[in-house]
Amino acid sequence: DFLILFFCLPVVIFNEITKKRLLGDVSCRIVPFMEVSSLGVTTFSLCALGIDRFHAATSPQASARPIEQCQSIIAKLAVIWVGSMTLSVPEILLWQLAQDTSPVSGTVTEYCTMKPSSNLPESVYSLVLTYQNARMWWYFGCYFCLPILFTVSCQLVTRRISSTEKKTECRGTKHSQCESHLNCTIIGLTIIYGLCTTPENICNIVVAYMSPDMSKQTLDLLNLINQFFLFFKCSVTPVLLLCLCRPLGQAFMDCCCCCCEGCSPDTASSEGSADSKLKTEMSSSIFFDKPRESPPPLLALGTPC
């Protein structure tokens, strides 16, 4: 989301204002690649979160599950990112820069067009052309239907298991609240993703079947609307995650407070930060299924006399 807002948003705004493409042909290839990669990362992350919630619900001793190792988390993130970027490689070969001269003013405008270059090797050109023809349905099935159906199915199974366990009273109230809060976070992220990607999929289907009857201005407007919703998703998702995920939001606020405060030692502030750190660690340990450690035994005060 940060990369999309930092790199793609200025390029699109510059193009709309000046009718010139910033960085030329490079931006025409990199911007779609980054946008589709962002959708892939979000899609596979939602699927991974759904699997994690399903394992948390079906584990026989979910409250005593050990925390996941850092190497395992890094491996999952690497698979998500590398897989998303690999599936987005055809976007680099699909787009290229084009120019158009206005018949009224005579000014030259630059825009990106979905047209594979004829200089590509024959085998690569045929693959890219096949991807272009199937892009609409691939986009709709992989980046829209897959995360929504996956999240909905995992949530339905999780809720069914949770309702069964509530009847038998197998779990504590605090752990059940944390599990439901995590499920609400995933549902919120999925709703935002679904609402922001629905207009783009509708526009893709409309353009695929009605493009000969539509003017270039209409196609440019639809493309601009699609990019606006993508930028809106990238802006709202981190804020929503910080608001719904309380340990993450608390850690973010603690980092902001640490940056705002000076480096001078203060006993009260150190005690307060230690207390907030302890609360954050306790809440995050429950939030991420980390087992609680038994409190140390109380030491006897005084002397034998």
Question: Where are the domains positioned within the chain?
Answer: 1-60+68-259
Tally of CB atoms within 10 A around 23: 14
Residue 103's pLDDT is 64
Over residues 120-129, the pLDDT tens digits come to 888 888 888 8
Q: Alpha-carbon distance 10 to 26, whole Å? A: 14
Q: How is residue 289 written in tokens?
A: 């299924």
Q: Tell me what pLDDT residue 82 has.
A: 93
Q: Which pLDDT value is given to residue 182?
A: 76
Residue 28's nearest CA partner among 8, 13, 43, 49 is 8
Using an 8 Å Cβ cutoff, are 96 and 112 in contact? Answer: yes
pLDDT bucket at 168, cuts 50 / 70 / 90 = low
Q: What is the mean pLDDT of the chain?
A: 76
Cα(52)–Cα(48) distance, rounded to whole angstroms?
6
Range 1-60+68-259 classified under CATH 1.10.3720.10: no
Two structure tokens written together for 300: 């006897």
Task: Give me Rg for the CA atoms of the chain.
Answer: 25
pLDDT in tens, 230-242: 889 888 888 888 8
Its pTM stands at 0.74
